């Protein structure tokens, strides 16, 4: 007997086959062309016409299983730096209210918690529709950099929360999303370290992301590009000494690069302090 999900959308009942995400599309991350069928307050029902691109994080075994399917798409989420809580991306919500039924659109999507598809990022035309333009692009990228659409699992041991210091670690892998390292030794801790049990990091694999800084001109927080360059340059298998800190939430961030690391990425001031 075939089962169905019935989802209330803008006061209407939308009847979908048993799962919103087809079996082969779990872990999907990419771009689709689709037609908007129905609209809700923070969701849209679309029919996928074509899978146009896949992004590096894609893990779907059969992305094309989406073609011809009707799926519910929700807004993305990001982590608010001040409160530490996850909240909806208002640009996405605004766009879904503005887009017209019957429109054929291109969407960047990713599967999320449970049986959901989330918007990854709006394109230029979509940002223009909600009056955001290029300013909206920076907001979109910042939200993705700082937590993305899915709540991440804890990246660090409980006793290492609030850690700030220098560790020796082996690089496992790295890409634009962060550097995976296995910590071999905690070398030093800094005065602002709040971790109760720093040695709990030893032997653990953690994901380290770039640091952030406040642009003096715009007043906006933005990624440290030198840290990003180093993350891309670091070689898998190499053993490094790196300054990291658990500044908030469940992640680790680079605090500062040393002389060798600055030289590797061609920093204009390899001997100085501050990145």
What's the rounded Cα separation, in Å, for the pair 146 and 149?
9
pLDDT at 272: 56
- Please spell the DSSP secondary structure of 168-237, one letter per residue: EEEEEEEETTEEEEEEEEEEEE-TT---S-GGGGTT-EEEEE--EEE-TTT--EEE-HHHHHHHHHPPTT
pLDDT at 102: 94
Check whether 175 has a pLDDT greater than 80: no
Higher pLDDT, 69 or 267: 69
pLDDT at 72: 94
Confidence of residue 194 (pLDDT cuts 50, 70, 90): very high
pLDDT at 164: 96
Check whether 101 has a pLDDT greater than 60: yes
Flag the least confident range among 29-38, 87-96, 140-149, 202-211.
140-149
Classified as helix, coil or strand, 263 is helix
The pTM of the full predicted model, rounded to 2 decimals, is 0.48
Domains, in order of start, for the chain: 4-145 (no CATH), 158-264 (2.40.50)
Taking residues 230-235, report their average pLDDT.
91
Check whether 62 has a pLDDT greater than 60: yes
Taking residues 112-120, report their average pLDDT.
85
Confidence of residue 217 (pLDDT cuts 50, 70, 90): confident
Highest mean pLDDT out of 18-27, 173-182, 184-193, 227-236: 184-193
Whole-number average pLDDT of the chain: 82
- The pair of structure tokens assigned to 202 is 């030893």
Taking residues 141-160, report their average pLDDT.
56
- Please spell the DSSP secondary structure of 46-98, one letter per residue: EEEEEEEEE-TT---S-GGGGTT-EEEEE--EEE-TTT--EEE-HHHHHHHHH
Check whether 11 has a pLDDT greater than 80: no
What's the rounded Cα separation, in Å, for the pair 154 and 77?
17
Q: Which helix (H) or strand (E) holds 261?
A: helix 259-264
Confidence of residue 168 (pLDDT cuts 50, 70, 90): very high
């Amino acid at each position: 007997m075939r089962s169905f999900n019935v989802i209330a959308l803008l006061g209407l009942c939308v009847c979908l086959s048993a799962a919103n995400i087809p079996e082969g599309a779990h872990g999907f991350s990419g771009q689709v062309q689709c037609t908007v069928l129905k609209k809700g307050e923070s969701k849209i029902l679309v029919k996928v016409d074509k899978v146009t691109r896949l992004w590096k994080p894609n893990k779907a075994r059969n992305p094309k299983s989406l073609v011809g399917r009707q799926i519910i798409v929700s807004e993305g989420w990001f982590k608010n730096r001040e409160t530490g809580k996850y909240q909806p991306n208002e640009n996405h919500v605004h766009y879904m209210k503005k887009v017209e039924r019957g429109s054929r659109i291109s969407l960047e999507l990713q599967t999320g918690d449970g049986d959901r598809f989330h918007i990854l990022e709006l394109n230029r035309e979509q940002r223009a529709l909600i009056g955001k333009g290029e300013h909206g692009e920076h907001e979109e990228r910042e939200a993705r950099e700082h937590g993305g659409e899915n709540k991440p699992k804890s990246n660090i041991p409980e006793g290492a929360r609030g850690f700030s210091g220098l560790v020796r670690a082996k690089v496992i892998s790295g890409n634009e999303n962060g550097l995976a390292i296995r910590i071999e030794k905690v070398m030093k801790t800094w005065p602002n370290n709040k971790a109760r049990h720093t040695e709990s990091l030893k032997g653990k694999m953690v994901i380290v992301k770039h640091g952030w800084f406040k642009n003096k001109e715009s007043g906006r927080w933005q990624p440290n590009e030198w840290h990003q360059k180093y993350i891309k340059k670091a070689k898998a298998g190499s053993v490094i000494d790196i300054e990291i800190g658990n500044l908030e939430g469940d992640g680790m961030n680079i605090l500062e690069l040393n002389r060798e690391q600055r030289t590797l990425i061609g920093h204009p001031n390899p001997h100085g302090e501050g990145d």
